[in-house]
Each structure stands twice: as C-alpha cells, then as structure tokens.
Chains A and B, each alone.
Chain A
C-alpha cells in the first residue's frame, strides 16, 4: 500500500470510528427530515375548537358571523355583558365576544377569554367582522355588494412560470423551488467547507502539538501528509453526506407513507382541479392552496435537471473543499494553539460569508453581473454558482470557465499551502506573522 493511501486510511478510519461521527450521521437526517415533514404535518393539524359567546349590543351581527368550520363556533344568547360575565367560568364558553351598541361610530370590540387565545383566532375574528362592517357600509350607501364580490372573485388568477427553451419547447418551472434548491446547495457547500476545513486544521494542529509530526515526516514528505489528511477528511465528508441522503430519503419516505398518509394526494388533486377549471376561488380554497404550496414544492422537484445539478454540486462541493482545506491546513501548521488561528481565519471566512450573501442576492436576481463575477471568482464560485444553477440559464462557457478556474486555483493554493505547511509544522513557540508566512513561501525545502 502506498504511503499516501496509508495516511488517507488512517485519517478516514480514525474519524469514521468516532462516536461523534455516528451521532452526527443519525442526527443530521432526523433534522433534515424534520425540516421537510414537520411543516407539512403542522399544516394538517387542526387547533382545538373554541366556542364564543357573542353579546352583540349593536344588534348588527347577531347570527351572522361566519363560523370557522370545526374551529370557531359562535353562540348568541340573549343576555347582557354583565350577565354573561357573572358565572362565565362555569359556562362551556371559551370566550365572550362583546360588540358595543354604537359599533359604527365607536368601532371597539372586546374579547374576554379564559385560558388562551391564539393569533389566528383574533385575526380571523377581526378580519371577518371588518369585512362584514364593510359590506354593511356598502349597503347603507346603496352600493351593490354582489357586484364588488363578483369583481373580486373574477380578478383572481394563477401565475404560471414556464421556461422557454431554444428548441421551442417550454417547461413549467417553480421559481420558489429553484430558490430552495439553490439555497440548500449553497448552504451545504458553505457548511461542509467550514465543518471539514476546520477538521483539517485541527488535525494538523493535533499532529503538531502532540509532536508526532516529526516522526511521520521521517517516513513521508510533508506534502503527502497534508494531502493524505485533506483527502481522508474529504472521504469522511462524502461518506457522511451519502449516509445523510440515504437516511433522510428513507425517513421522509417512511414518514410520508405513515404520518401524512391520505392527506396529500386528495388535496393536491382538488387544487389542480380548481386551477384547471378556472373556477372562482373562495376563501376556503385559497386556504387550501396555501396549505398545498408545500406539496406542490415537493411535486415540482421533478421538473428540475437533477443530473446536471447533482454533478455540478459534487464538483463544486469537492473543489471548494479542496481549495479551502489546503488553506485551513496551512493555518493549522502555522500556529501552536487554537487561539492563534483567529488572525489567519479572517481572510478565509470573509470570502465564504460574502459568497453566502451574494448567493441569496443572486437567487432573486439571477442575471445580475454581480452573480456572474462571483460565480467565476474561484473563492466564491462554488457557493454562488450553485445558487444560479437551479434557475437555469447559465451558459456552458461560464460554467466551464468557473470550473477550470476553480481547478487551477485549487492547484495553486495547495502548492502555496504546502510550502507554508512544511515549514510551519516544524516551527514551535513562535508567534507567526503574515510577513513570516510570506518568507516561508520562499524557503528551500
């Protein structure tokens, strides 16, 4: 077995065998699956039923307030507020809704409640009563309410985005889903660079501080040791990533087959029917569509070129990692303890954070020149390009330029980092400055 593969093997196994790796591997998918499943599950949950005792002293709304089916129920007992309040605690009612006598002049409505009242409930009541008062005013001023209702309903429409291709065919897209995929890809790359880059740095510092490095260097070249570590940790990252994909998808599948069973498909079909028929949407339907946006998101995944995105993701993921890992290794070699890493970490973290900012900007402005430049410059290109790709429309030459620049820079940076590394790793008890690092670049091996 060649020496570098021995090093890779050790770096890989010593990390994969750790308990923290196992925990992360299990915890990650649970969290990821949670992100997908919990919102869907929550949207299908119905809150407890609440019964209101309506004391309408204005007599305008008696028996008229629309109920929220199964959630908010209104009773209209013919009593005064005083009467209602005495012994309120012994009644079955959750709250008293008091409407003052001079409602049109003094529009202040009160709710007295026992345990708790939710924001959705108060908002429902205020918006419903508000629209009722609106209608009453219309009637009082002799305006045809039906005419307005009709106009409101007929002005509802659905916005469909389709990507028009060179071959004349077009394809339905979902800008929201594209945005989400770009964001997830960018965040994953960002996270992996930091998480595994710092592991490289710590690994180098560990070897330096426990003084095993000199023993190893009597058997292998510093560059072999550095690359062995970088590659070994990359494999750890890929393993974890692969396990996450497998576990996340199986957890999601299992959950949607059990917890969400019977919820989704009917609602999706119902919504599609509505859109197809161009039916007028009433309030209930609108609510359902809002609920179904999540399902639609999952549904629209099918329209995306996954092969291209996955391949590019793998390339940028590895390229970005290799580029930054070499820099992290150089930093680790130059310092004696973690506290000293701060000054050298700054220039590494700034382009990464900048890239995250730019990529969120690029998602809403895919054609901006900022997006172009930042997806070409190698230090930010992996994160920014992954934000641009799901939206499509990145010319091949831009992609190729960005990729080849990343490769060239990675080689250059690894070479430079190797020169710093081989000097730094044997240097103890010295507070290293930037000037010093510069000098190391020119030392003879």
Chain B
C-alpha cells in the first residue's frame, strides 16, 4: 500500500509551470528519493504534499484517504532552507514546534529530553539558538522534524550543513526510523546517498517526471552491457577469443597484466564471454559496469535538455 499518492499534479505560476502532470507513488515503509536538477520542481511538489501550497489540479491521497489538513500531524518536514527563531531558547522553541504538530506539552517535553540526550545536546536546552553552531541547530531541527513520530518524513537536502560524523548520525536515524515503520521522502543532489538509502526514486526535470521506479530496476534498465576484466595473458589471444560476441572498447597493458573494457553485443551474456576467454587468459577479476545513479541522472537530464534545445530550434 502507498502511504502517499500524488496523481497528475499541475502547479502553475504566472510566468512558468512548476509541475506538469506529475504522478508520484510512495510505498509504505520505504525510502523514496525525489531527484532532479535545481529548479526542476522538487520543492514545489514537496510544498504541495505539505499543504503549504495547493496544486492547480491533481489529487493527493494519504494512506488512501484524500489529503487534508488533519494529516499534517502525521507528516514531518525538514525544508532545504531551514532555520529557527534566533532569540528563542532551544527547548522552548522545540516545545512550541512540537505543539504546533499537535503534541501535548508533557509528551513533547518527555520525548524532547530523550532525543536531546541521544544527540548529546541536553546542555543546550536553555541556550538561545543564536548561540548554537550551525551543526547544533541542524540537530535541533532534525529532532523537531521527527519528534511527533510522523508516518511520512519529508527531508529536503537533509545532509547539507552537516559534517560527515553528524551526517552519518542522521543517516542512521533515517534507516532506524524506516525500520520502525516510517516512510521517508527525501530530496537530494547527493547521488551516493541515493544509492545507499533509497528504495525508489522519481526524477523530475523541467517540471515533468522523467523517470521513476525502484533503484535496482532503474540501474538494471540503464545497464550498458559493459564489463571490465583484469587478466594476465596475451592481449591478442584475448581479442581473438571474444571477437564474435563482444567489442573491445578500451584496454591497458602492463607487461603480462591486462585490463580491458568490453561491451557485449547481441544476446551474448557474461557467461558466454567468460567461456570464450578462459582458455586463453588467466582471469583476475570480472565485473559488470553497472551505471551509478549519478551517471543515470546526468544521462537522463542531459538527453532531456538536449531534446529540449533541439525542439526549440525546430519550432
């Protein structure tokens, strides 16, 4: 079951369309990556899910129910551009934000104490926010976002502003929350973290969704059938052995040690290639070159933009 479905969302501003018929389905208890270049429409979509703005057309469902104001208490949101009241004490502020999410004061206080201890910032309860370092503030913001145990957690560039240690702390918290049943929607430019964390993604470019699905499926789909081999033996023998079913793209030779990049042609499989080569070479490694999310992102967005330019010329 999906925790959130956004169907055919359209959002227009006076001069441009921010979202053009975007449909996104976020399965329960998963981590969903919302990707796309700057200005693609990610934040617009996130704001619509948070009901900060409304769509011009399209429908949203939260656990199958039409999304309404009562659902805000089940959503936690950490915006990309985030801040706190500078002159307000940390604890007081966290309590205020938690109460706005519908928590009672006592409950919020109890849970905040737990989280503050966990993140080792309990000494900061009475300090003003302006006295905190940026990283500390980020921790407070993260706590406030997850405190009311939302079913859906929306994190916009959650790792920006954190040092590697704290980023790792947050990463583990995200995985932990997922284990406990939360669903996480997060938007990022950091493709490494997408591969590491996300189950599914949607890629938005120029206000349209251009790609979506599970990360594994997508990477499979964008497979280029290129393999990298390391072996010792005669390079010439190697080329002769594989020539029918594959094409040598690149190779380096260092004495007896060879490295080759090979693209399989037609219906040739990795196994076919290995069988052909084993008699002539001593294989040290054999690895399929699966495209990274970064490659896929650049490829898809790059192609899209190239098409756009072309169509502009023909118009």
What A residues does B96 contact at CB under 8 A?
6, 10
Residue B86 contacts which of A10, A210, A222 (CB distance < 8 angstroms)? A210
Docked pose: A6 CA to B93 CA in angstroms? 12
Contact yes or no, A218 B82, CB < 8 A:
no
Among B81, B87, B102: residue with most chain A CB under 10 A: B81
Residue A219 contacts which of B72, B84, B87, B141 (CB distance < 8 angstroms)? B72
Residue B97 contacts which of A216, A422, A439, A444 (CB distance < 8 angstroms)? A216
Contact yes or no, B86 A444, CB < 8 A:
no
Chain A, residues 194-238, CB within 8 Å of chain B (1/0): the string is 000000000000110011101111111110000000000000000
Contact yes or no, A215 B79, CB < 8 A:
yes
What B residues does A7 contact at CB under 8 A?
100
Main secondary structure of the interface of B (DSSP, over half): loop
Contact yes or no, A14 B52, CB < 8 A:
no
Is B77 an interface residue when CB atoms closer than 8 A count as contact?
A: yes
Q: Smallest distance from the beta carbon of A9 to chain B beta carbons, Å?
A: 9
What A residues does B47 contact at CB under 8 A?
214, 426
What A residues does B97 contact at CB under 8 A?
215-216, 219
Q: Smallest distance from the beta carbon of A264 to chain B beta carbons, Å?
A: 47
Given contacts A210-B85, A218-B75, whether A445 and B53 have CB atoms under 8 Å apart is yes
Is B1 an interface residue when CB atoms closer than 8 A count as contact?
A: no
User: Which chain A residue has the least Cβ–Cβ distance from B87?
Assistant: A14
Interface Cβ pair total, 8 Å cutoff: 71
Q: Smallest distance from the beta carbon of B101 to chain A beta carbons, Å?
A: 5
Chain B, residues 78-104, CB within 8 Å of chain A (1/0): the string is 110111111110000000110111100
Docked pose: A1 CA to B98 CA in angstroms? 12
Interface size counted on chain B using CB atoms at 8 A? 33
Interface residues on chain A, size class = 20 to 34
Contact yes or no, B83 A6, CB < 8 A:
no
Contact yes or no, B72 A215, CB < 8 A:
no
User: Which chain A residue has the least Cβ–Cβ distance from B98?
Assistant: A219
Is A428 an interface residue when CB atoms closer than 8 A count as contact?
A: yes
Given contacts A216-B97, A219-B101, A221-B69, whether A210 and B83 have CB atoms under 8 Å apart is yes
Is B56 an interface residue when CB atoms closer than 8 A count as contact?
A: yes
Contact yes or no, B100 A214, CB < 8 A:
no
Given contacts A210-B84, A439-B14, whether A218 and B99 have CB atoms under 8 Å apart is no
What A residues does B88 contact at CB under 8 A?
14
Docked pose: A212 CA to B79 CA in angstroms? 9
Chain B, residues 59-83, CB within 8 Å of chain A (1/0): the string is 0000000000100110101110111
Is A164 an interface residue when CB atoms closer than 8 A count as contact?
A: no
Given contacts A212-B83, A212-B85, A443-B13, whether A220 and B100 have CB atoms under 8 Å apart is yes
Residues of A1-16 contacting chain B, CB below 8 A: 1, 3, 6-7, 10, 14
What A residues does B85 contact at CB under 8 A?
14, 206-207, 210, 212
User: Which chain B residue has the least Cβ–Cβ distance from A210?
Assistant: B83
Among A1, A6, A439: residue with most chain B CB under 10 A: A6
Is B144 an interface residue when CB atoms closer than 8 A count as contact?
A: yes
Q: Smallest distance from the beta carbon of A94 to chain B beta carbons, Å?
A: 59
Q: Smallest distance from the beta carbon of A431 to chain B beta carbons, Å?
A: 15
Q: Smallest distance from the beta carbon of A386 to chain B beta carbons, Å?
A: 35
Contact yes or no, B87 A214, CB < 8 A:
no
Chain B, residues 200-216, CB within 8 Å of chain A (1/0): the string is 00000000000000000
Contact yes or no, B54 A217, CB < 8 A:
no
Contact yes or no, A211 B100, CB < 8 A:
no
Q: Smallest distance from the beta carbon of B104 to chain A beta carbons, Å?
A: 9
Is B50 an interface residue when CB atoms closer than 8 A count as contact?
A: yes
Q: Smallest distance from the beta carbon of A278 to chain B beta carbons, Å?
A: 66
The 23 listed contacts between A and B (C-beta, < 8 Å) are A1-B99, A3-B100, A6-B96, A10-B96, A211-B81, A211-B83, A212-B84, A214-B77, A214-B81, A214-B82, A215-B78, A215-B82, A215-B97, A215-B144, A217-B50, A218-B51, A218-B72, A218-B77, A218-B79, A219-B97, A221-B69, A444-B56, A445-B54
List A residues at the B interface (Cβ < 8 Å): 1, 3, 6-7, 10, 14, 206-207, 210-212, 214-222, 422, 426, 428, 439, 443-445
Known contacts A212-B82, A215-B144, A219-B100; 5 further A-B pairs (Cβ under 8 A): A14-B88, A211-B81, A211-B83, A214-B52, A443-B14
Ranked 4 nearest A-B pairs via Cβ: A211-B83, A218-B77, A219-B100, A210-B83
